[in-house]
Structure 1
Amino acid sequence: MSDLSGRVADSTGNWVDSHAPSWARPYLRLARYDRPIGSWLLLLPCWWSAALASGIAGDVGSLPLMLTLFFIGAFTMRGAGCTWNDITDRDLDASVERTRSRPLPAGQVSLAGALTFLVAQALVGLIVLLQFNSFAIVTGIASLVIVAVYPFMKRITYWPQVVLGLAFSWGALMGFAATLGALGPAAFTLYAGAISWVIGYDTIYAHQDREDDALIGVKSTALLFGENTRTMLALFYALAVVLIGVSIYLSGAGATACVGLLAFAVHLAWQIRSIRIDDAALCLRLFKSNRDAGLLLFAGLVADAAMRAG
């Protein structure tokens, strides 16, 4: 059994390592609370859609509560998703340098303990989901099928990032469902744009493990695109900007939302220009920077919603 306070190889110097109780650290690492970037990336499409839907409704009175619920739900369900992913990938993770120190392959958490923790997180997520209307509850539950199958996709297709996009972009539907009780063209277009964004940034992330993945037979768009990554990144990021722009137009949002979209686009262009696929540290920094890109877009959308409601 490994030391319960042992750090994960690609996550050091964070609050979990330095302040969390020793008994809780393996579970917090299992849920990735030592690396919250994924939770932010899951959250941002929720916030985008909530802001756009509030603008359509002309009412931002319930928006602060909705943003808070989405924040709690995204961090909880991303933790549950990572726990499920680590349960299914525990043997593969043991074969990859960057992931072999994760709690399950390192022996810091038992399989039974991980399953119990998964159920506990799912129950918290359910409590959050039950705060919304019935249409939003059904919409949220529908995402679980995609979440369940995602970990297996890297074994059968070079496009697991598409399935991740379907799961991580689901929040683009949830804001409309929770605010308007319906889904329309603006919601589905935002969802498609978010999927394109996820494919782009997760391709960057996957380049960290490209060599190990090739050795153990795990597939990814990073392996598929190879030296053409910059071109494909430009394609998917451009598609994301266009589709999100169409959603903004269909939502009736104005110039302030477009300014947010422009800032988002400039940030993505900087990532495309900066990427060097053989520099793992740079790939990780660029991947993490997508939180800032998403927040820039959100700032424009929420400001526009406030202006329309006023």
Structure 2
Amino acid sequence: MNPEIRNKLILYGELIRINRPIGILLLLWPALWALWFAGEGSPHWFVVLIFVAGTVLMRSAGCAINDYADRDFDGHVERTKQRPLAAGKITPNEALKVFAVLSLAAFFLVLFLNAGTILLSFAAVVTAAVYPFMKRYTNLPQLVLGIAFGWAIPMAYMALREEIPLAAWLLFLATVLWALIYDTMYAMADREDDLKIGLKSSAILFGEYDRLIIGVLQGLMIILLMWVGLITGRDAFYVAGISVATALFIYQQWLIREREPKACFQAFLNNNWFGAIVFAGLFLDYLAGS
């Protein structure tokens, strides 16, 4: 391969954070929750593959448009100043093209699903494109992120059941709260830099009450997950999974107790395990009941 092309592809890989899969995982877990609930433990494998591939593509597209939106700010933040767009290694136009190509690829996958799911996918693309710009206009951009990350839930129900019942919307709300939880932890790590450059975030809005508000949101999310389990007839394994996940929320509170940036970022990363544990409990619960 031509060295120039190879180097460009490496930079594009850095742009979409292919070497940092945490964003893919945080987007994937709610999709898998929804697929297993909607499919009653046996979702069609082809639909699962489409959603997994779509998750990878849309998260990657989201990173590209995020870096385009933040191209004038990332260079002033220690954690982001080496990103290829901020460092001038690729152009804004290239980032937009990467976003467009990945979004079109994700949309192509959705075309294999039913018409209702295709219609819902338009909202997913719009939300993903709008979110990065919200940091300029609202102190709660994390709510928009939550909608973007949670939109796979109604799409999964529509793809498998051609309806969106109460359980789907409760799971969607839980996912929106989850994004507000973990992205506030993420924002706590960047709070000082964000204040200097004028960006807005929930961590800045919550101020000294950040840990308390995160704790309330964590409690509400657990209640919502238990509610979904109740109305869908889940049993012991699911409850055990939620119990272990609750313990992880407590651990995250311990991590952020001093609001030290590195520990806050570690708490953010720990949410991957939260999502995995919830899914493991759900998976085993359906397996035991089959």
Tell me which interval the TM-score lies in, with the shorter structure as reference length: over 0.9
Distance (whole Å) between structure 1 residues aligned to residue 247 and residue 113 of structure 2: 35
Indicate conservation of the 8 Å contact 1:80/1:122, yes or no: yes
Alignment size in residue pairs: 288
Alignment of 1:127-138 (within 5 A): 127-138=108-119
Distance (whole Å) between structure 2 residues aligned to residue 227 and residue 131 of structure 1: 48
Distance (whole Å) between structure 2 residues aligned to residue 222 and residue 284 of structure 1: 13
Distance (whole Å) between structure 2 residues aligned to residue 100 and residue 296 of structure 1: 34
1:126 corresponds to: 107
| Match status 1:40 vs 2:40 | no
Indicate conservation of the 8 Å contact 1:195/1:240, yes or no: no
| Match status 1:60 vs 2:42 | yes
Q: TM-score, normalised to structure 1's length?
A: 0.87
Q: Following TM superposition, by how much is the alpha carbon of 1:21 offset from its aligned partner in structure 2, in angstroms?
A: 4.5
Secondary structure of the residue that 1:143 maps to in structure 2?
helix
Distance (whole Å) between structure 2 residues aligned to residue 181 and residue 305 of structure 1: 21
Alignment of 1:1-310 (within 5 A): 21-55=6-40, 60=42, 62=44, 64-308=45-289, 310=290
Letter in 1 for 2:162: G
Mean Cα deviation higher: 105-114 or 29-38: 105-114
Q: TM-score, normalised to structure 2's length?
A: 0.93
Give the helix-richer structure, 1 or 2.
2
Q: Following TM superposition, by how much is the alpha carbon of 1:277 offset from its aligned partner in structure 2, in angstroms?
A: 5.0
Distance (whole Å) between structure 1 residues aligned to residue 6 and residue 260 of structure 2: 34
Indicate conservation of the 8 Å contact 1:52/1:302, yes or no: no
Letter in 2 for 1:140: S
Higher relative contact order (CA 8 A, sep 6+): 1
1:86/1:112 CA distance change after superposition, 3 Å: same
Q: Following TM superposition, by how much is the alpha carbon of 1:203 offset from its aligned partner in structure 2, in angstroms?
A: 0.5
Indicate conservation of the 8 Å contact 2:255/2:266, yes or no: no
Secondary structure of the residue that 2:228 maps to in structure 1?
helix
Indicate conservation of the 8 Å contact 1:43/1:71, yes or no: yes
Indicate conservation of the 8 Å contact 2:167/2:228, yes or no: yes
State the percentage of identical aligned residues.
36
Distance (whole Å) between structure 2 residues aligned to residue 213 and residue 137 of structure 1: 37
Q: Following TM superposition, by how much is the alpha carbon of 1:132 offset from its aligned partner in structure 2, in angstroms?
A: 1.9
Indicate conservation of the 8 Å contact 1:143/1:167, yes or no: yes
1:159/1:277 CA distance change after superposition, 3 Å: farther
* CA deviation string 1:234-289 (max 9, x = no partner): 11111111112111222222222222222211111211122145422211111111
Indicate conservation of the 8 Å contact 2:114/2:159, yes or no: yes
* CA deviation string 1:102-160 (max 9, x = no partner): 11121111122222212221122112212222222212222222222211211112111
Distance (whole Å) between structure 1 residues aligned to residue 113 and residue 237 of structure 2: 28
Distance (whole Å) between structure 2 residues aligned to residue 71 and residue 149 of structure 1: 22
Secondary structure of the residue that 1:268 maps to in structure 2?
helix
Letter in 2 for 1:142: A
Q: Following TM superposition, by how much is the alpha carbon of 1:61 offset from its aligned partner in structure 2, in angstroms?
A: 5.7
Distance (whole Å) between structure 2 residues aligned to residue 38 and residue 72 of structure 1: 14
* CA deviation string 1:16-53 (max 9, x = no partner): xxxx9433221011111121101110111100001111
Indicate conservation of the 8 Å contact 1:54/1:305, yes or no: no
* CA deviation string 1:163-197 (max 9, x = no partner): 11111111222221221111010000000011111
Mean Cα deviation higher: 154-163 or 270-279: 270-279
Distance (whole Å) between structure 2 residues aligned to residue 54 and residue 121 of structure 1: 27
Distance (whole Å) between structure 2 residues aligned to residue 229 and residue 147 of structure 1: 25
Distance (whole Å) between structure 1 residues aligned to residue 264 and residue 68 of structure 2: 26
Indicate conservation of the 8 Å contact 1:52/1:253, yes or no: no
Letter in 1 for 2:182: Y
Letter in 2 for 1:281: K
Secondary structure of the residue that 2:19 maps to in structure 1?
coil
Letter in 1 for 2:96: L
- What's the RMSD between the two structures over aligned residues? 1.9
